[in-house]
Amino acid sequence: MFWREQKAALAGFHPLHQALVHQRGFAATQPAAGWTALITSLYQHAGLVKRGKWALPARTLDVVVPLIIELCSDLGAKGTLAVTLDLRGRDVPGKTGPEHKLAVRPPIRSATEAWTIDPWLSLRAELRDGSILEVLVVDRERKRKITKRNARGKTKWKRKSKVVQTIKVRRRLPEDVRGQVPPTPPPPWIGVFVRDGSRRSVLAGAKLDRMPQSGQEQVDRILTVATEPFRWTQTRGVS
């Protein structure tokens, strides 16, 4: 009977909450009030649902929720936040490309390489200052399979993998906002590019070779890159 109570509780959660449990992701655009309703639902999960098969995906409460709260605090009265979330992990079908053979030398007999691309988070926020902020977080894993023959003629197989994370942020400025060069350079691990046009855009990006060890570290990384474009524009008053 207890599992039926949990199933009933799950059915009463926010629709996007249910999508996270069953599909491990969603794509939605809402004003701040809509995201507040989702977050309220998510915070009820642990107290009502205990079955492992209905657990929230990793990164939900410690990464995604803090980022949504932060961005919603900067939305205008009519601004919306678009979130595309894929928390199925890197090992699901379709995220790993084909294997390619690598050039080798003895004693290595053969080696292949394949890349797994996991764009697990995309955000687009219409901010109260009239600018648009876009964030993309992608995990990339390089997988290698190596066949080697040792001096005794025995063949051995070895697998190696390395994961890097890229964070890309673009802020499209309002038409009446001018750019500026900040008094201090960005951190050495963040690159910045300014693109002029009908609306100036400031792009910030980082490639990180070490994966975060906690949700807080992941949030700090994303927010550090996301705030960099704001240093490259002049501040104007907000009504």
Q: Which letter does DSSP use for residue 54 in this model?
A: G
Confidence band, pLDDT 50/70/90 cuts, at residue 1: very low
Query: How many other C-beta atoms are found inside a 10 Å radius of the C-beta of residue 37?
Result: 15
Higher pLDDT, 148 or 75: 75
Q: How far apart are CA 204 and CA 186, in angstroms?
A: 9
Q: Which two tokens stand for residue 112?
A: 């292949």
Confidence band, pLDDT 50/70/90 cuts, at residue 103: confident
H/E run at residue 138: strand 132-149
pLDDT tens by residue, 45-74: 999 998 899 999 999 999 999 999 999 999
Answer yes or no: is pLDDT of 239 > 70.
no
Average pLDDT on 18-32 reads 97
Query: How many other C-beta atoms are found inside a 10 Å radius of the C-beta of residue 30?
Result: 18
3-state secondary structure of 104: coil
pTM: 0.89
Answer yes or no: is pLDDT of 238 > 60.
no
For residue 224, the model assigns a pLDDT of 97
pLDDT tens by residue, 180-236: 888 899 999 999 999 877 678 999 999 999 999 999 999 999 999 999 999 988 665
Domain ranges across the chain: 59-232
For residue 207, the model assigns a pLDDT of 96
Higher pLDDT, 115 or 106: 115
Higher pLDDT, 143 or 4: 143
Q: Which letter does DSSP use for residue 16 in this model?
A: H
For residue 235, the model assigns a pLDDT of 62
pLDDT tens by residue, 133-182: 999 999 999 999 998 877 777 888 888 899 999 999 999 988 777 778 88
